Chains A and B, each alone.
Chain A
């Protein structure tokens, strides 16, 4: 359990965070400049915040009692946004900076698939490779908490899934993680608890799925599902999988065949097509009947929440909403193309 109750004056506002985190993986979500990085730097000991930070029984900061452990005595692994690998050391030396235990080194190299790049220099690595090396380096210290700052920000889509896979492996090692992201769907992919930070204060916190379902909080219009129980049909090119709220989704076989379920998939709100009546023949493999629970119009755009009964966010033009005569309570059919799903990880 991580207790945080800190104040840290920043340039434009004072970061004031008070929360207790008991989830295995917590996501800190918020727009740029919300104070996310400052918060995890305070936990790591790189910024001197006032207040109290404790992990289980270990008090890291308690300014009232004059306690403020330096970073090297906090046992907290920190992976900054750009990995910050030491440029003068090769990959294996970077990893060993965190500790010299051979067995641990070997097992991390295996888990994060680093063997082929051990003698390379950081400058020659891709963004994803850097993240993995930084992750291994931090884990060599046997941290009691791992802090990740935007671990996926500098990585392109296909590689993101790999990194998320590695992060899941780390999560499965049982090391608590706090990770910062400005993309709500990334938060959903890994975390069970979520803290939304805005202007240095907590705007919302709670279980990730419920906190991030609110577009006002998440600021995004993505639909994210954790799916499990895959039924592959190679010949037809589809995989059926069930979401945690009971929806059966049809996903493209070739993209998920190799994945280790459960996986997280997302579909953009404007990739969903709305029908006023049941479509008779259609290529979309996912057609759900639902009821418009709410509409929110902003300058030519209408965001609908449709309950199927699982809630889906749909974004259409105002013209489309008028043509279909949509209002709260309208019966609609939603079509989701299989190939519009993106695998988050």
Chain B
């Protein structure tokens, strides 16, 4: 495939806007790291707990981290879309 193919699909930015949009993620990185660490701790506890209390604490932490990750991601998608729409409108 080529730029021409992508153009025909209608998914490229207008040519005059190429290179102008800053490719930075809208994901809140500190929060993402927090959710990742929580998931990691949850998994380690899940294994180390050997089926006991710590395993279930670990599982709970994992659930919380997954929920947190989803919220972070959905917020990031909303923010990213707002940014790109503003960019396309020339704001």
Question: Are A and B genuine complex partners?
Answer: no
Q: List the interface of chain A (C-beta within 8 A of B).
A: none
Q: List the interface of chain B (C-beta within 8 A of A).
A: none
